[in-house]
Chains A and B, each alone.
Chain A
């Protein structure tokens, strides 16, 4: 069965430091890949997406993600985090066979001042 794994439940990073959030998926073909962000008490907002082509994709708020087929990974990165980046981040995979997204359990990002 298809699955998405975000191995880190929480990550704490100092403000100004770099960030990498991990996402691994299990799927036979190249899926559609997404990162969403959820600020406290809010809905989810799309950060970036990958469908095909260049494996390094740029998103909003200075985030980027790299698709690595050999590792079945789609890790999210940011060179320098800001306190406003504190939120929960979700990785999701879209399947070509239906309309559904498969979601990771989320990683909560905590920013130290």
Chain B
């Protein structure tokens, strides 16, 4: 039981390049989330998926797209990376509305030069 897994762990991009961050969970959770973490700003929600087939914008969605591929997988895409997107990205999942308790992956550290 791996919980929430994310790939890659580290990535360096040049401005304008694109990439997809992958996330998978094996806990049969309905809801999945993408956050970014910047120093002194806590966690900010980028997008979330309340259930398979649905996605919604969070606090900072600009510059990102998401795909809920199936119940297990939720990917985050940067179409044209910008230095402002340098951050640590976390994926999380939860059992729908139950308790809003979220389980986190280990994170992806992204640098855009």
Contact = CB atoms under 8 A, between A and B. Distances in A.
Contacts of A106: 40, 42
Nearest to B58: A100
A99 B40 contact: no
A99 B57 CA distance: 12
Contacts of B41: 105
A34 B105 CA distance: 17
A99 B97 contact: yes
A43 B94 CA distance: 15
Contacts of B40: 9, 105-106
B99 A32 contact: yes
Nearest to A32: B100
A45 B94 CA distance: 13
The residue among A90, A100, A106 with the most chain B CB atoms within 10 A of its own CB is A100
A32 B101 CA distance: 9
Size band of the B side of the interface? Answer: 20 to 34
B31 interface: yes
Contact of B42 (A32, A34, A49, A90): A90
A19 B92 CA distance: 28
Contacts of B43: 44, 90, 103
A101 B104 contact: no
A92 to B, nearest CB: 8
8 pairs of A and B residues whose beta carbons are closest in the complex: A94-B100, A43-B104, A103-B42, A105-B42, A44-B104, A103-B43, A43-B106, A99-B50
